[in-house]
Structure 1
Amino acid sequence: MGPRRFHGGSAVCILAAALSFACAGGTGDDPAGDDRMVALEAKTRSLEESLEALASENARLRRELAVLSEQAGALEGPEASGDARDREEGVADPEGGREEQPAIPDEDRTQAAERLDDLDARVRELEDLATTVEWAILAVEQWVKGEDKPLSQLEGTALERTVRLTADSGGEVHFIVHPEREEPSVLVMPVAAVDGETPLIVSLHGYGGDSAIQAAYVPFHERVNTHGFALLLPNGIRDAEGNRFWNPTDECCDSAKGGQDDVAYLTELVARAEEVLDFGPVYFFGYSNGGFMAHHIACKGLPGLRAVAGLAGTSYVEETLCEGASPVSVLHVHGTADDVIRFEGDESDPDQQEDGEPAFYAGALDMVTRWSRQAGCDWPGQPQPYATLDLDRLVAGAETRAFRLESGCADGIAIELWMSMGSSHAPGYGETFVDALVDWLLSQE
């Protein structure tokens, strides 16, 4: 069945390194534990250096391959030197002499292309691995910061790990129970909450993740008091392989096919959270499969919903299913080097694991275009970035180009695209990204 096949991809085990570290039984004050943390950080640096070296070699090979192709074209092109004899013997230079053009063996071009493909694959592999270790370090640091507790406490259910992670944020932890799910969700409230005004952010994990992994990767909970919002961290149900997921389609509600109605579930969950406090604006953020779900929530609507943001997650190609949706502000964040959910979309390539059925997700530009249209405005054909942001620590320089459309849209609606040049499906985001994301969400009043 379709809804899950688009979002899992590489299924990175985000906390594997952290759990391995935890099982050794170290503590925040344990010298051996400190040594393992240093080793983990050293491994990350080594991976990043290897990634940079591979990327450099990749770029060099691309230049060489381009020169080879250009030379081959010059040798074969009818205008290279005027006649066949010139093409065989050389090309006349402006001074009347001849610059010898060596023949480029096909074998050399083939070997260069094969080497380039191999480097591309290795760069992607190292990028995923480096990100995994980065996430592990972030998770470990979250749990041991200022504590004298064993890192083995990283173990446990998603609920237990989420509570341990968020309890130190300074907010108040509540459990939100849904009548159809045994496992409650974690609601983190700011100390100074205002009835009818305090906004709510709902953060949705990716395929195979959970609420604790999501909180470690995008630690909204650290900002509930400083920025004055509440945070809801739900969990999707498990598929046949045990991976948690969200169903961002209208295929419901046959649970045997993984088609649970997650719109109804999340709508009810937010309603039950509002028994704790009458919230102001509601915002959804999702990563990967969670990003798909955030877009689907925007499509189907939810009381109080003001804006959605998605990272490396898009929506289905069949946009007629979203007709009649009320306009909301949308932020789409996507890496151009994402080879799991591609920036360009995947509406035409067949999915070989699904008997050749066309894949179903739209590209990043398609998404901002359709959400603009939904808001009564037009995304420009050649937009100009209003800012360049340095968000991804795994990509050198300021990699993210930020575009936005505000004029002409429905009152108060903003459509925005953060296009991260060279970022993968799992960007190495840190505090700068989280701050920018929170600021954008809360600005959509």
Structure 2
Amino acid sequence: MTQRFARVMAAAAVVMMTVACGAPKAPTEPSPALPSIGGGTAQVGGRDVTVYVPDSYDPARPAPLVVALHGYTSDAKELETYLRLIPESQRTGFVYAYPDGSADAAGDRFWNATDACCAFSSRAPDDSRHLSELITTMQARYRIDPARVYLIGHSNGGFMTFRMACDHADQIAAIVSLNGAGWNDAARCEPSGPVSVLAIHSSADETVAFAGGDINGVPYPSADTTVAQWVGYDRCSELGRDGARLDLVPGLPGAETSVRIYQRGCEGASTVQAWTIEGGDHVPRWGPDFAPAVTDFLLSRTKAGR
């Protein structure tokens, strides 16, 4: 989400918006516009997706796939200017896809992630299926390692990464959610296997509250509850341990981000980590260490049995 989110949400509380498109189309053959090397934008399943293929990509050697999901009122290209993952694709060799969500009546893009966020109409696209089919399309076009498929999302995109881990654990090794949340009702998430999770939350988030809250009267869980849910889903057996603090936001004093790690006993060698940005807001101004840190977390995880 961009900083427009709070204003748009206030309007949505009064007037429910109409989604501009219906259910996604069935997956199509990969478009010739998808690049062999470098960047390009094409339509997959009736929606735009921008793909970046690093110079090191070799069709004879399986590569990781990272899919990045923008927030409500944002879009894929704006997200990349925020996360800056293209240099990480070049550094580490992953194929990178960043798709656009559907547009509502006001032209704002969104993901239908949970009942709280962010399809504010009874006509809600099946984004879980759409993104699963996008992953399948990427695997058909490129030599993707099925054990190293990852998602990262901000705000509404963070909600959507949790939804994907719930619905498509068989496809996904790990996710990073930045200032997002999952289902408030933990029973609505039934992952078929373990997924490693990095949940990053800002303690002073003014939009998706650290302590939990609601959007248009529909509740979403707190940061602590979100992490506890995934500790349970992954069947971790420990209380967790503290990791070294991180300095990810230069505008905040010191090493502002605390790290809590749950790993012992987690099924399938998965892990759950909670990074808390003390004093951080909804759209932190990242320093140069952020993108490498989240990339290294993702690429350190491999899907067991794939």
Same fold at TM > 0.5: yes
Q: Determine whether 1:332 maps to 2:199.
A: yes
Say whether the 8 Å CA contact 1:336–1:419 is kept in structure 2: yes
Alpha-carbon distance change, 424 to 379 in structure 1, aligned in 2, over 3 angstroms = farther
- Is structure 2 residue 221 aligned with structure 1 residue 365? no
Q: How does 1:126-145 map to 2 (within 5 A)?
A: none
Superposed counterparts of 1:280-359, under 5 Å? 280=145, 281-301=148-168, 303-346=170-213, 354=216, 357=217, 359=218
User: Do structure 1's residue 377 and structure 2's residue 249 form an aligned pair?
Assistant: no
Map Cα deviations across residues 264-293 of structure 1 (whole Å, 9 max, x no partner): 111111222222213111100000000000
Letter in 2 for 1:304: Q
Q: 2:54 aligns with which of 190, 193, 197?
A: 190
Deviation of residue 396 (structure 1)? 1.3
Q: Which residue of 2 aligns with 1:438?
A: 295
Per the alignment, residue 172 of structure 1 pairs with: 38
Q: Distance in 2 between matches of 1:364 and 1:439?
A: 22
CA drift of 1:323 comes to: 2.3
Q: Deviations over 1:275-320 (max 9, x none)?
A: 2213111100000000000000001015531001100111121111
| Larger strand fraction of residues | 2
The answer to whether the 8 Å contact 2:115/2:183 transfers is: no
TM-score scaled by structure 1?
A: 0.57
Asked whether the 8 Å contact 1:368–1:379 carries over to 2, the reply is no
Aligned partners of 1:176 and 1:269 also within 8 Å: no
2:108 equivalent to 1:238: no
Aligned position for 2:93: 228
Question: Per-residue displacement from partner, 1:313-369 (whole Å, max 9, x unpaired)?
Answer: 11121111112432100000011011210111126xxx6xx4xx3x32111111111
In 1, Cα distance between the equivalents of 2:89 and 2:243? 28
Contact 2:227 2:274 survives alignment (8 Å): yes
CA contact (8 A) 1:315 1:361 kept: yes
Instruction: Report how far residue 213 of structure 1 moved.
Output: 0.8
Listed as ranges, the matches of 1:9-158 within 5 Å are: 9-10=6-7
Larger relative contact order, structure 1 or 2 (CA cutoff 8 Å, min sep 6): 2
SS of residue matched to 1:185:
strand
Change (3 A) 1:426 1:175: closer
Say if 2:125 is the partner of 1:268.
no
Which AA in structure 2 matches 1:262? Answer: D
Q: Structure 2 counterpart of 1:403, which letter?
A: R
Structure 1: 5+ residue stretches without partners: 13-166
Q: Secondary structure at the match of 2:90?
A: helix
CA spacing shift, 1:428–1:10, aligned 2, 3 Å: farther
Structure having the higher helix fraction is 1
Identity of aligned residues (%): 30
CA distance in 2, matches of 1:433, 1:400: 11
Could you say what the CA RMSD is over the residues aligned between the two structures, in angstroms?
2.6
Residue by residue, what CA displacement relative to the aligned partner does 1:213-239 show, whole Å, maximum 9, x if unpaired?
A: 100000111121211101001001111
Give the TM-score of the pair, scaled to structure 2: 0.81
1:409 is matched with which residue?
A: 266
Alpha-carbon spacing, 1:258–1:241, altered in 2? closer, same or farther (3 Å): farther
SS at match of 2:231: helix
For 2:170 and 2:187, locate their aligned partners in 1 and report how far apart those are by CA, in whole Å. 22
Partner deviation per Cα, 1:154-203 (whole Å, 9 max, x = no partner): xxxxxxxxxxxxx9xx952244422433xx31111112224462000001
TM-superposed CA distance for 1:240, in Å, is 2.0
